[in-house]
Structure 1
Amino acid sequence: MKNIMIILGMFAVFSCKAQTLPLNTALNAIPANAYVKDLNNELTPYIGTYKGNFQNKEITLIITKKDDKLEVRSTKQFHRDALVIKYIVKNSLGNILQDTQNNAIPKIELYSIATRPLNNSVIFYYSGTNCRVGWGDIFLKKISNTQISWEYRPDNIIIDDKTCPPGTDINIYLPETKDLIFTKQ
C-alpha cells in the first residue's frame, strides 16, 4: 500500500507540472495553465528607459521584463514572459499629462504579446486610456543598442459617452504615429 501511495504521489506531481512552450507559440496552440517562456532571451534587448519627443511632448518609456505573467482569456488562462511598458508623457512645460510608472492609472496596460525575431521587433497590446479609448497595438523595432522605433495603431479612438463617466480624461497621450525614434537613457 505504501508503494502505491508513493507512485500515486509522484504521478500527481509530474502531471500537475505546467507545459513550457516557446515565446511565439500561437494562442490556439497554448493549453490551459501552460507557460510561454522567453527561451531565447528575445525580450532582454528591449529592457531599459527610453525617451522620445512628439508634437511638443516628451515621452519616457520604462520597459521591464515580467516573468510568468498571468494571462486570463475568455477560454483559458496561462502564463507568459512579457515586456511591460510603463510611461510618462510631459508637455513642453514639463507638466505630467499621464504617468503609469507608479500605477497611478492601474487599468492602463501595455505588454508584449509576440516577437518577430527576423524583424528585430516586438508587438505589444495596449489597453487604451480611461474607458479603453485608444486600445490597440504598438510595435517596437530594435534599430541599435540605443534606439528603438515606435509605431502605434489604435483600434478604437471613439468613445460611446454612455459607457464613460462624465468628466473622465479620455485623451490619448501616447504618440499615434509610425517611425518615432526613442533613445535609451
Structure 2
Amino acid sequence: MKSKILLSLLTIGSLLSCKAQTLPLNTSFFDIPNGAYIKDTNNELNPYTGTYKANFNGNEITLFIIKQEHKLEESSQKNYYMDALVIKYIVKNSSGIILQDTQNNNLNIAALYSTDIDSTENIISFVYSGTNCNVGFGGIKLKKLNSTQISWEYRPNDITTTAAKCPPTLDTTIYLPETKDLIFTKQ
C-alpha cells in the first residue's frame, strides 16, 4: 500500500515539474530553459498588428503583421515556445504586378518573425530568413511611431556570397526595401 502511495506521489510530482515555465518577452535567450514559454504577458506586441503600406523605389510594399502565440523556436541548443509577431508581405511594382507574395507561404523561405522587443524605445527586432538560398537573410527593426505609423529598417547580411552559391534558375532578388527610416502607414 505504501509503495502505491509513494508511486502516486512521485508521478504527481514529476508531472508538476514537467509543466513549462512561463517567462516574459524580454527574457534573455541564455536564461530560457528548454521547453519554456515566452509569453506576451503585457500585450506589448498587439499595437504592431495590422496591415501597413509604404512605397519604395517605385514598389508598393504591404505588410500583414499578426501575433502568433506559442510559436515553436528551435535551435541547436534548446527548443521553446514564444509569442511573436509574424510578417507576411506583398511587393508590387508600379504597374501593379506582384513581384513577391508570402501570404500563403508556410515554408521557411522568406520567413519573418520577431525575436526581441525594446519597450522603452518601441522597437521590435525581427529575423528574416531570406529568399531562395537564404539570400537577404538579416535583421529588420520596426519602431512604433504612433498609432498608425511604423518605421522600417532592414539590414541584410552578405548577399553576393550567398547568391553565388544558388542555382542560376532561382530568383535571388531581394524585394524587401533595403533601407532605414521607411514609414509604413496602417491601413
What TM-score do the two structures reach when normalised by structure 2? Answer: 0.94
Which residue pairs with 1:182 in the alignment? 184
Range that drifts further, 95-104 or 109-118: 95-104
Q: How far apart in 2 are the matches of 1:104 and 1:77? A: 20
Could you tell me how far 1:163 is from its partner in structure 2? 3.0
Aligned partners of 2:11 and 2:163: how far apart in 1?
Answer: 56
Q: Give the CA deviation at 1:106.
A: 4.8
| Alignment map for 1:42-121 (pairs within 5 Å) | 42-103=44-105, 106-121=108-123
Deviations 1:39-67 (A, max 9, x none): 11110100000000000000000000110
Work out the CA distance in 2 between the residues paired with 1:63 and 1:71: 18
Matched position secondary structure for 1:2: helix
Residue 159 of structure 1 corresponds to: 161
8 Å CA contact 2:124–2:141 kept in 1: the answer is yes
| Matching residue of 2:8 | 6
Deviation at 1:160, TM superposition (A): 4.5
More deviation in 38-47 or 156-165?
156-165
Q: Note if contact 2:133-2:162 (Cα within 8 Å) is conserved in structure 1.
A: no
The answer to whether the aligner puts 1:129 opposite 2:131 as a matched pair is yes
Structure 2 vs 1, CA of residues 59 and 159 (structure 1 numbering), >3 Å: closer, same or farther?
A: same
Residues 99, 105 of structure 1: 8 Å contact kept: no
In the TM superposition, structure 1's runs of 4+ consecutive aligned residues that sit over 4 Å from their partners are: none
Q: Distance in 2 between matches of 1:7 and 1:104?
A: 43
**Aligned residue pairs, count:** 185
Q: 2:43 aligns with which of 41, 44, 69?
A: 41
Cα displacement (A) at 1:121: 1.1
Counterpart contact for 2:124–2:143, Cα < 8 Å: yes
Q: Percent identity?
A: 59
CA distance in 1, matches of 2:106, 2:9: 50
Q: 2: CA distance between counterparts of 1:96 and 1:157?
A: 22
In structure 2, do the counterparts of structure 1 residues 55 and 162 end up closer, same or farther at CA, with 3 Å as the change threshold?
closer
Cα distance in 2, alignment partners of residues 105 and 17 from structure 1? 30
Counterpart Cα distance in 2 of 1:116 and 1:89: 28
